């Protein structure tokens, strides 16, 4: 089924992701996630003259590649702001032109991606810090440009122990919030998926009692968790593209975060996999 037909059916069935799984802390994507959201996807700066423009979605909820191409007109487009579609207006912004990631059309097939190059200080700062103490549900759609890359999606600029990331050895390591103010958890999946494919990676965990009572990690499908560590602090995020002392290198398509262990896990995972054909 083509993307256009798929999204036409999606619109008819009102099955945008956040209509099905509401209440995120932040939700960043280059597709429309929420029927109640009327804003754009990103704000872009074009390299030719540093003019800026908001770019939204087409009639099917996809990123409006035609509007983007018309605006940049042969030059490059860089992300000034990635708009939060979760309802909290917690947008991710970078005002310094030299630290802005690039919007790349066809970063994976027909999907546009936000390309981070691993450059020092290249990150997008959240309007407000997100602090979660009852666990997290975090899913990311990413694609490394090389198997040696390290992916950093969510992080904290002052505490390297807060992160959601994809290590260069192919294993993901996610920090997990706890009700304890100083301690949390890290979880590690046992399967190795070191590749340059488009991947859904993430984790669900509930630590409301100070212990993880439920957890599941994903590398496109549910995978076994090999170990859990209790040495990480609570999850306090303030940026995209940086974490654990490292900057993101690769394309990011979607970053989603809910508090606690989300009861809509299957709906969320299936929606993402269907949209990106993962």
**pLDDT the model gives residue 18:** 97
pLDDT of the residue at 24? 96
| Interval 217-262: pLDDT, tens | 888 888 877 766 666 777 899 999 998 888 999 999 999 999 987 8
Give the CATH number of domain 3-37+102-276; options: 3.20.190.10, 2.60.120.200, 3.20.20.10, 1.10.150.450: 2.60.120.200
134 Cβ contact list (under 8 Å, min separation 6): 177, 179, 206, 207, 208, 259, 260
Q: What is the pLDDT of residue 5?
A: 42
Give me the pLDDT at residue 7, please: 46
For 225, the token pair is 């968790």
> How far is the C-alpha of 272 from the C-alpha of 278, rounded, in Å?
8
Residues 215-225: tens digit of each pLDDT? 778 888 888 77
- Residue 119, token pair as written in the block: 């450059």
201: nearest Cα among 219, 223, 178: 219
Cβ atoms within 10 Å, residue 148: 10
What pLDDT digit, counting tens, does each position of 188-198 carry?
Answer: 777 767 889 99
102 contacts 113 by C-beta, under 8 angstroms: no
- The per-residue pLDDT for 168 is 62
- Residue segments in the chain with a per-residue pLDDT below the cut of 70: 1-14, 168-170, 180-183, 192, 208-212, 214, 227-231
Listed by start position, the domains of the chain span 3-37+102-276
């Amino acid at each position: 089924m083509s993307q256009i037909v798929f999204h036409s059916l999606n619109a008819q069935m009102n099955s945008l992701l956040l209509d099905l799984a509401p209440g995120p802390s932040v939700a960043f994507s280059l597709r429309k996630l929420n029927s109640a959201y009327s804003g754009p996807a990103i704000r872009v700066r074009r390299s030719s003259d540093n003019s800026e423009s908001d770019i939204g979605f087409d009639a099917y909820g996809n990123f409006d590649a035609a509007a983007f191409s018309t605006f940049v007109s042969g030059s490059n487009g860089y992300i000034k702001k990635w708009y939060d579609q979760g309802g909290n207006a917690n947008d991710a912004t970078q005002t310094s032109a030299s630290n802005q990631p690039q919007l790349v059309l066809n970063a994976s097939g027909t999907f546009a991606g936000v390309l981070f190059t691993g450059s020092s200080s290249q990150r997008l700062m959240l309007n407000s810090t997100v602090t979660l103490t009852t666990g997290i549900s975090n899913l990311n759609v990413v694609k490394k440009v090389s198997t040696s890359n390290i992916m950093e999606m969510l992080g904290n600029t002052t505490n390297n122990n807060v992160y959601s990331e994809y290590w260069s050895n192919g294993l993901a390591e996610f920090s997990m919030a706890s009700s304890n103010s100083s301690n949390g958890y890290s979880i590690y999946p046992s399967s190795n998926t070191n590749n340059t494919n488009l991947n859904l990676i993430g984790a669900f965990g509930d630590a409301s009692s100070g212990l993880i009572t439920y957890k599941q990690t994903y590398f496109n499908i549910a995978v076994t968790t090999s170990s859990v560590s209790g040495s990480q602090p609570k999850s306090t995020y303030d940026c995209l593209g940086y974490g654990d002392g490292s900057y993101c290198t690769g394309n990011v398509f979607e970053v989603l975060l809910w508090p606690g262990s989300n009861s809509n896990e299957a709906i969320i995972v299936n929606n993402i996999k269907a949209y990106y054909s993962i």
